Structure 1
């Protein structure tokens, strides 16, 4: 019987030197999402000051070579906006401190109707987007939401330049993969294997570049200032809208989570020329095609098309205008709220 061994890789350059089916776990995650249409979202949980954010940023840069600080968010509405906007396959979006009042906590879940978030994340698999979430503990996020994460990471030790033998600052993390027994619903988190009988016990994740880290600090300071200012619902103003998210939500009479969903969909339709003339009229087949492109590009569109169309109609964003080919219209209140 082969003896079990454990190995700790040091940075990305160390992975290719190991034989077997698995070498670089981060390249493995990306390939599984981009080329095999699998879901490999990552959750990082640990105490305050343990290096969760630095680990998330370092992992994001290792998985997505095009990662920018623009794909970092602290609030549910910003997260939904990012993952419902068309992105290239393999794009990483980081949802930091998702257990706070601005994130996907249980209280926020009930207050803002963020149950849409779990549906969107599940469908997001077909778009090839990889989510990295951070929190003090996995239980701080809503149950159905956190079940979507396949990789669990726990930062264990901050490493100095001396610790990494001149390779710079880094974090030593415990990385495990979720395994579910479908017959009894038992969930276990197992170590990855680099070869039969060989397990990856710890992974060293490099600290992000100074310039990106400073940008992150600026965004975080702004978010914390808003929270300390007593805002019960911290919202990030939409750069392309005439109204803030709170004002737009009140104007439309929909939840904050749904507002971002509707805005992304309708703005994309208008931008791509799906609206006819100056009457803001949409063809039913054009709307269905656009919904399929944004939400289920590789799957069966029928049920999701009906579901999203129903939400748009119930919210007042769209309404019926008669029979025949032209049967949907963007309502005046939505056009006014968006200030196109």
Structure 2
């Protein structure tokens, strides 16, 4: 048993000051991931800063129609919130696809974003892992990597980010609010997580001492058709082999005027499909155009020895999501000649 200090913060300022003054400190809210990692010896924080009693547990409607979700809102509460279900149904679906009912009752919005990879080499301290121990190597690259990345990986890390919620937030153009010793700032959800590059140990763009205080869902995607679809090895309590979150707005002329598309289970972070979005904007969401757009994005994939199946799997998921969202407005396609 390794000793650690415990601080029960009574304000955001106290929490960030305690974290910033203790190198290696960790914030504790639900603890569904952090406590497990401490048990396995992967995480050994010198200080735990308990933020579970801070007033960050509300879902607040904004004057412009968006929603501000506090960092300690429980996943189950967020998934069931009436305004989330009506305005951002893809987020509710993503939350319900994650973990189990018991874990969703404890896990928090901020903690969900900060959960770490489930790569077995990361979780086993006897194995090499650049994310856990920089410079030790990536055991998964030439080892067991069926569940690992096909997009954006590097020679140093091929792990994937496990969150379902984060994928939906990226597609919905959400932002993450941070508060630290230097004040507050906001980061687009699409830019919050990092690709591994040469520093896979850095999961996010959070600076030392910064705390997630909220996630903001914008008015521009409120009420638009959105959906989340996930493929996994079993029907529940399993991480995504591949997943897709989509948002689609089709104008009266039958062409796409807004689209958000993000993949989960394919990369070190939720993968915003910018090429696919650009290919669909201003075009009719026909099956042919959807196929062209998705194929353009997945042409970037670099599968490893045992996970090439993820590319057609993700392609089919994206086709299904976009086709379903486009169904009310999609025109009939011309017959093949």
- TM-score in terms of structure 1 length: 0.30
Larger radius of gyration: 1
Identify the structure with bigger relative contact order (alpha carbons < 8 Å, sequence gap 6+).
1
